[in-house]
């Protein structure tokens, strides 16, 4: 930890039961928004967005111009993504992230029936995102920007070494979001409480100045 107080961290605990379903951008299904930046953004002007989608039937994905995406199937079922351009055919296995461009017209097939997926999206000209699948205990280093820790299976304990009393229990579907100011560094510990526990560790860089200015004029 360097150059700031732990009180400078914006920390939000987001419970699965509090997520509300909304229609997909193309109306083909429902999604539950976990985190959105800025908070009042729409499908067309968000900086980054994290959500869980219920995929009940085969069909097209929504398209997002200028956006990069990482998707992970979170249930024990596969999903096959196809596209005539650029001739893509990819089988998504549970717990395996797949990155693609939001402009690509994607069609999803569900060989095992309805499933659910976790999505990280970010505007590529303004920030960068990454995702790591965690299955074991670890000490995670955080930098300026946002970290979103989503428990997709089992349960995890998250502890802040700077405050021994700060312990968070994440059960399936729960999320911990942390936002750190510029030049900040921080660490926390994660501990799986179940043998098959799985956590998705998403990191999003702090927004660039051009994007921040464009929002101020919207």
189-203 pLDDT per residue, tens: 999 999 999 999 999
If DSSP states are collapsed to H, E and C, what string results for 77-121? CCEEEEECCCCEEEEECCCCCEEEECCCCCEEECCCCCEEEEEEE
Residue 8 scores a pLDDT above 80: no
Residue 23 scores a pLDDT above 80: yes
Mean pLDDT of the region 145-174: 92
- In sequence order, what are the residues at sequence separation of 6 or more whose Cβ sits closer than 8 angstroms to the Cβ of residue 141? 185, 186, 187
Measured CA to CA, the distance from residue 6 to residue 180 in angstroms comes to 9
| pLDDT at res. 87 | 79
| pLDDT at res. 103 | 93
| pLDDT at res. 186 | 87
74-127 pLDDT per residue, tens: 998 999 999 977 778 999 999 999 999 999 999 999 999 999 999 999 999 999
Q: What pTM does this model have?
A: 0.90
Work out the percent of the chain whose per-residue pLDDT is above 70. 92
Count the Cβ atoms, other than its own, within 10 Å of residue 43. Answer: 14
Token pair listed for 27: 């109306």
| pLDDT at res. 215 | 40
Average pLDDT of the chain, as a whole number: 90
- In sequence order, what are the residues at sequence separation of 6 or more whose Cβ sits closer than 8 angstroms to the Cβ of residue 107? 58, 59, 60, 61, 81, 82, 83
Mean pLDDT of the region 29-58: 94
Residue 35 scores a pLDDT above 70: yes
| pLDDT at res. 4 | 57
- In sequence order, what are the residues at sequence separation of 6 or more whose Cβ sits closer than 8 angstroms to the Cβ of residue 130? 70, 202, 203
Mean pLDDT of the region 62-73: 96
């Amino acid at each position: 930890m360097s150059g700031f107080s732990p009180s400078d961290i914006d920390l939000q605990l987001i419970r699965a039961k509090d997520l509300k379903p909304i229609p997909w951008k193309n109306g083909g299904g429902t999604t539950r928004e976990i985190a959105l930046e800025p908070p009042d953004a729409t499908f067309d002007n968000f900086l980054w967005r994290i959500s869980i989608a219920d995929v009940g039937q085969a069909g097209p994905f929504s398209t997002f111009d200028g956006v990069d995406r990482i998707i992970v199937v979170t249930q024990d079922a596969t999903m096959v993504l196809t596209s005539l351009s650029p001739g893509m055919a990819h089988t998504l296995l549970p717990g395996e992230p797949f990155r693609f461009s939001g402009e690509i017209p994607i069609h999803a097939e569900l060989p095992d029936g309805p499933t659910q997926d976790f999505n990280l999206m970010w505007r590529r000209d303004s920030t960068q995102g990454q995702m790591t699948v965690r299955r074991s205990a670890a000490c995670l280093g955080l930098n300026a920007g946002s970290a979103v820790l989503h428990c997709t299976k089992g349960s995890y304990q998250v502890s802040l070494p700077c405050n021994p009393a700060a312990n968070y229990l994440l059960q399936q579907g729960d999320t911990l979001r942390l936002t750190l100011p510029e030049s900040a560094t921080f660490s926390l510990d994660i501990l799986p409480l179940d043998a098959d526990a799985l956590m998705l560790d998403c990191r999003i860089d702090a927004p660039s100045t051009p994007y921040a200015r464009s929002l101020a004029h919207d």
